[in-house]
Amino acid sequence: MITVSGTNFFKGLEPFEKGVIVNLVKQPDNEHDSDAIGVFLADEQIGYVANSPYTLIDGVKSASEIKFIEDNQKAEVLFIFLERYVILKLID
């Protein structure tokens, strides 16, 4: 499982409903984090895979831990935790 962060810079939690399928896209040119992975719905970015101790929840993987994923890896929204953290699972 992974956590989505940065939703407040995009559309908030609105796009994240249980069962929604999103794409994960590596962003190695990101000036803040070379391990950054963007979370996209269609062609629109809606967040990032969490990669900071301040945005991670115990038991989930960080962007650095899953950096070997393929571009456009699909993930499914499982739930929103504490009305703040979006939890995804990687799917084939």
Q: What is the mean pLDDT of the chain?
A: 90
Looking at residue 80, its pLDDT comes to 94
Let me know if 13 is exposed, middle or buried by CB neighbors in 10 A (0-12, 13-18, 19+).
middle
Which pTM value belongs to this model?
0.90
CB 48 within 8 A of CB 63: yes
Quickly state the pLDDT bin for 26 (edges 50, 70, 90).
Answer: very high
Cα–Cα distance, 70 to 68 (Å, whole number)? 7
Whole-angstrom Cα distance, residue 36 to residue 32?
Answer: 8
Reported as a single tens digit per residue, the pLDDT across 42-71 is: 999 999 999 877 777 777 777 777 767 887
> With 80 as the cut, is the pLDDT of residue 73 above it?
yes
| Domains of the chain from N-terminus onward | 2-91 (3.30.70.2330)
